[in-house]
Structure 1
Amino acid sequence: KILSQDTEIQRAQKPDVGQFEECHAVFGFHPFFVYGQNGKVTQGIGVKTESLLKVEHLHLLFAAKSNIIGSGIFISPKGVLEHAGSVGLALIVWVLGGGVAALGSLCYAELGVTIPRSGGDYSYVTEIFGGLAGFLLLWSAVLIMYPTSLAVIALTFSNYVLQPVFPNCIPPYNASRILSMVCLLLLTWVNSSSVRWATRIQDIFTAGKLLALTLIIIVGFMQIFKGNYKELAPSNAFRFWMTPSVGHLALAFLQGSFAFSGWNFLNYVTEELVDPRRQVPIPMNLPRAIFISIPLVTFVYTFTNIAYFTAMSPQELLSSNAVAVTFGEKLLGYFSWVMPVSVALSTFGGINGYLFTSSRLCFSGAREGHLPSLLAMIHVKNCTPIPALLICVSYHPCSVTMEPACRNTKPLEKRAGKTPERWFYPRRGACLATLIIMLVGDTYTLINYVSFINYLCYGVTIMGLIVLRWKKPKIFRPIKVNLLIPITYLAFWAFLLVFSLYSEPVVCGVGLIIILTGVPVFFLGVYWRNKPKCVNRLIESMTCWGQKLCFVVYPQCG
């Protein structure tokens, strides 16, 4: 009935600018195709939380921890070690990476309770710096950060699933990509069908990663007690096979930061908690939660790497296509099959968590008028943001990287002091599907790519905390961190971005260019108010067809 009546399918008419200025917080900019009922511009939501999503606090806490301890710890050790140049320096990078994540978490805690809106970085930057800055952050997240991260985790999932089937060689290229695509499509269907299913999957599959990491750490301690820690002895740990430059250190931190990404997960679902000022991210004192969780994650990551080095030399770790599998084969004997299964479960849950978070960011952007209004709609029965989920799994930037399959098969001494060979193929067009990137993207270059953009967005957001202190000094802040914390974070942020750009100018530079392509899109789609009637009719038609295809409407207001 709903879809058969034109009046209920959001007929796109000329917006009521007065109402827009009254209810829309986009700093005076015209919304990007957002129309409410009867053709009037609306806040888009004013959603009753339960009509969109109902997640228990326990699920949110479990999902937040799951989002931090994800597939990165099974991917990044090789990248960190390669750029650090020694075992000891690699371990220092892991410890410092946890400290930087803790500083960022404290800054986000203040922003989360001061601006209690879903959308995380995007909502804070929009509120503090205005519509253009918020749109560019959203543009980079939708086109770069989330699709690339999904591609990396999906490729890791397929590698670990296929490694036992092909123990003596790299898994076939086509098999790895097809399995990754099947995994992405399956979890997109799950998240589209039921939020309850999605959160239960997150809870269940978190056990996989905890099992794998606990097993690795316990076996590592057993090795140390037996005296098998040759590579960890000070004389060997700081024996460099290459002299790392400042640029190499920056890239090592980028690789490690990928494993720590996810510490700002609950900032994206703030409105789904009863009282975000008291219960973000968990119903207890937030700084205390950060001081417990981040050091715990840092401990787990550091000792997981220590365990790796009790079983493998640096050369063996760098030549391994699946580090945890190699660890299991060396130390677990008949039970080595536990490692690939556990890691596969971990990465499967990680993909689910990224889909859950990224769809809420698209939803928030559409609500603000920075994305097409179709993305602010939910399924009439399941109350899931199906259009936002589809867009998250469908788009990726036009430029990707490729590397030969045998990138780590060269002897270590031949690769010392060199950046691994890479071929970069820029493509024309605005974007490609996330599924396509897995056909042409190398995992470790993609990590540099997405981590650089991630850090850029983190820094701009934390810079906003300082600006907000200056612009609105009297605003109510339930949590107020010492100003030295954001300043210290920004100093590290500047170092990382400058030297990463110097070391990987093509990979990082293309990311910056893609972000800047959002400027004309913003002025054409958001700032330009009087669009031709033919354009509005086209948008109206596409929105109607999108609603019919996905069976979605605006959430209940009030």
Structure 2
Amino acid sequence: MARIQASDNIVPRHIFDTPVNSTADVTGNALHNHSTDSSSQGSGVKLKKQIGLLDGVAIIVGVIVGAGIFVSPKGVLIYSGSIGQSLIVWILCGALSMVGALCYAELGTMIPKSGGDYAYIGTAFGPLPAFLYLWVALLVLVPTGNAITALTFAQYLLQPFWQSCDAPVAAVQLLAAVMTCILTVINCYNVRWVTRVTDIFTGTKVFALLVIVAAGAWYLFAGHTEQWEEPMRGTYTKPGMIALAFYNGLFSYSGWNYLNFVTEELKDPYKNLPRAICISMPVVTLIYVVTNIAYFSVLSPEEMLSSDAVAVTFGDKMLGFMSWLMPFFVACSTFGSLNGAIFASSRLFFVGARNGHLPAAISLINVNCLTPVPSLIFLCAITLVLLFIRNVYSLINYVSYVEALFTLLSVSGLLWLRYKQPKTERPIRVNLVLPVLFLLTCLFLVISSVLESPVEVGIGTAIILSGIPIYYLTIHRPVKWLTNLSQAINLWCSKFFICMPNQEKFD
């Protein structure tokens, strides 16, 4: 198909290119034989299509519904100024995420390759912008997000044991590291195990939110309506404040594009990708809105703004001796969210290495489990390092606008490809109004963040630009000693992890 061939030609040869035969030679005949067996169902060693529609829905819901809705809905309230506007922001953030997800559904079915934004930006604009996205994701976005999720899990799981004070930092870091390693092992061993863990913990976190909604409804119907007498009192109307409120709301919705990272492992992606999006996004939006209604019914704005974990404060007020359930539910939520994030984001680096933008070793697939083991271990190692940086949370402030910037670039790519390749097959074609609306909204958020947080934007931009010299040293004009180092690492990983390069053929 022409659309795949066009995207395959975006990457030049460079230091990370390694011949397939060299890996086969160093791993021995057993690998060759296993490859032959595997090819009976395909064209060599490749990722298996094991993710069905319900698994796809669970991945989206599981990744999105993390710690955000339990811990920090106060961020929206801070910049909205009122209960009424907070709910409006939550609804609009859900609608905006749905529009973005539909745009990505068109991109994902037109370019049915794993990697999400990386694949789309590369197809539309070439290798350098794609590499810069990969660079930022590798350096900060993905491992930092995973580290924060792991630390949140550890903090809330340990909280009942240190009720009068914070848990020791070392204990939190150690538990977070153990949990990250356990989930990495599960992801390395079996994709089906990953989806089962995602399914179970998605159900757990939805149940937790239903408990909050039920308690809030009981409190509201008992006659406690004082919080709703003036819902718009104190509303902020400054564009910059509205933009920051949207940033906080969209942070809790982040992850709606993660299924696009694993398109190649999705059964019948042309049907199941858009279906999973259309099922999961309205469900998440409804859950978030009714959960916030429950929060606002029980807690005053002052109580919410003074709380570091709204769900825990809510549980202390409403659940009595069962209040320990809330920290447990937050821990379960973050556990499931991290599991889905590790699964999806490791595929981003796998695809980047397969295209030659990272060392070839990261694109290897274990011949027994058919999972990208080196990519998973590589991601785990970076996450473990970030767990022991005290100010890891501050990194999010520097790159919050970067995510919006690259999302803006991806959707711009959709419009550019419609102009550049009008005859390319598109199994899904969204109305032109949707990508234009999403584009304008992202542009507003990016410009507003520049005006409101120039220092953070400057640091985020510096992180992006730092990838340019890396690109020219390793890809455009490769340095010989780096070439030799990359090949040596690739051969060692092939032997140690019993891996081979991906051999799937794209027609």
Conserved 8 A contact 1:255-1:448? no
More helix by share: 2
2:401 to 419, 427, 452: 452
- Alpha-carbon displacement from aligned partner over 1:225-258 (angstroms, at most 9, x marks no partner): 112132222x2x3232x85643222222111111
Q: Which residue of structure 1 lines up, in the alignment, with residue 27 of structure 2?
A: none
1:543 to 486, 490, 494: 490
Q: How does 1:81-480 map to 2 (within 5 A)?
A: 81-233=77-229, 235=230, 237-240=231-234, 243=236, 245-281=238-274, 286=275, 290-395=277-382, 433-437=385-389, 439-442=390-393, 445-480=394-429
Amino acid at match of 1:455: A
Q: How many angstroms apart in 1 are the aligned matches of 2:490 and 2:132?
A: 23
Q: Which residue of structure 1 lines up, in the alignment, with residue 30 of structure 2?
A: none
Conserved 8 A contact 2:225-2:297? yes
Q: Which residue of structure 2 lines up, in the alignment, with residue 423 of structure 1?
A: none
Contiguous gaps of at least 5 residues in structure 1: 1-21, 41-45, 397-431
Q: How many angstroms apart in 2 are the aligned matches of 1:378 and 1:223?
A: 53
> Deviation of residue 541 (structure 1)?
2.2
Q: How many angstroms apart in 2 are the aligned matches of 1:202 and 1:394?
A: 22
Conserved 8 A contact 1:367-1:376? yes
Q: How many angstroms apart in 2 are the aligned matches of 1:260 and 1:163?
A: 25
Which has the larger displacement, 27-36 or 306-315?
27-36
Q: How many angstroms apart in 1 are the aligned matches of 2:143 and 2:483?
A: 29
Conserved 8 A contact 1:49-1:272? no
Fraction of identical pairs, as percent: 43
Q: Alpha carbons of 1:343 and 1:535: their partners in 2 closer, same or farther (altered >3 Å)? A: closer
Q: How many angstroms apart in 1 are the aligned matches of 2:183 and 2:11?
A: 38
Q: Alpha carbons of 1:129 and 1:449: their partners in 2 closer, same or farther (altered >3 Å)? A: same
Q: How many angstroms apart in 2 are the aligned matches of 1:53 and 1:435?
A: 32
Q: TM-score, normalised by structure 1?
A: 0.81
Are positions 1:486 and 2:480 aligned together? no
Q: How many angstroms apart in 2 are the aligned matches of 1:31 and 1:276?
A: 32
Q: How many angstroms apart in 2 are the aligned matches of 1:300 and 1:193?
A: 33
Q: Which residue of structure 2 lines up, in the alignment, with residue 19 of structure 1?
A: none
Q: Which residue of structure 2 lines up, in the alignment, with residue 518 of structure 1?
A: 467
Q: Alpha carbons of 1:301 and 1:361: their partners in 2 closer, same or farther (altered >3 Å)? A: same
* Greater relative contact order structure (CA < 8 Å, 6+ sep): 2
> Deviation of residue 302 (structure 1)?
1.2
Q: How many angstroms apart in 1 are the aligned matches of 2:280 and 2:60?
A: 10
Q: How many angstroms apart in 1 are the aligned matches of 2:173 and 2:376?
A: 20
Contiguous gaps of at least 5 residues in structure 2: 24-38
Q: Alpha carbons of 1:213 and 1:49: their partners in 2 closer, same or farther (altered >3 Å)? A: farther
SS in 2 for 1:357: helix
Conserved 8 A contact 2:49-2:264? no
Q: How many angstroms apart in 1 are the aligned matches of 2:399 and 2:83?
A: 25
Q: Alpha carbons of 1:225 and 1:113: their partners in 2 closer, same or farther (altered >3 Å)? A: same
Conserved 8 A contact 2:11-2:355? no
> Deviation of residue 459 (structure 1)?
0.8
> Deviation of residue 77 (structure 1)?
0.3
> Deviation of residue 93 (structure 1)?
1.3
2:70 to 70, 74, 86: 74
Q: Alpha carbons of 1:70 and 1:105: their partners in 2 closer, same or farther (altered >3 Å)? A: same
- Alpha-carbon displacement from aligned partner over 1:115-139 (angstroms, at most 9, x marks no partner): 1111111111111111111111111
Q: Alpha carbons of 1:84 and 1:155: their partners in 2 closer, same or farther (altered >3 Å)? A: farther
1:63 to 59, 62, 67: 59
1:499 to 443, 448, 451: 448
2:8 to 14, 25, 32: 25
Q: How many angstroms apart in 2 are the aligned matches of 1:552 and 1:122?
A: 24
Q: How many angstroms apart in 1 are the aligned matches of 2:224 and 2:371?
A: 51
Conserved 8 A contact 1:190-1:197? yes
Q: TM-score, normalised by structure 2?
A: 0.89
Q: How many angstroms apart in 2 are the aligned matches of 1:214 and 1:23?
A: 47
SS in 2 for 1:395: helix
Q: Alpha carbons of 1:26 and 1:433: their partners in 2 closer, same or farther (altered >3 Å)? A: farther
Which has the larger displacement, 291-300 or 454-463?
291-300
Give the number of aligned pairs.
Answer: 485
> Deviation of residue 446 (structure 1)?
4.7
> Deviation of residue 536 (structure 1)?
2.9
Amino acid at match of 1:61: V
Conserved 8 A contact 1:164-1:337? yes
Amino acid at match of 2:173: R
Q: How many angstroms apart in 2 are the aligned matches of 1:232 and 1:447?
A: 33
Conserved 8 A contact 1:76-1:256? no
Amino acid at match of 1:498: I
Amino acid at match of 2:115: G
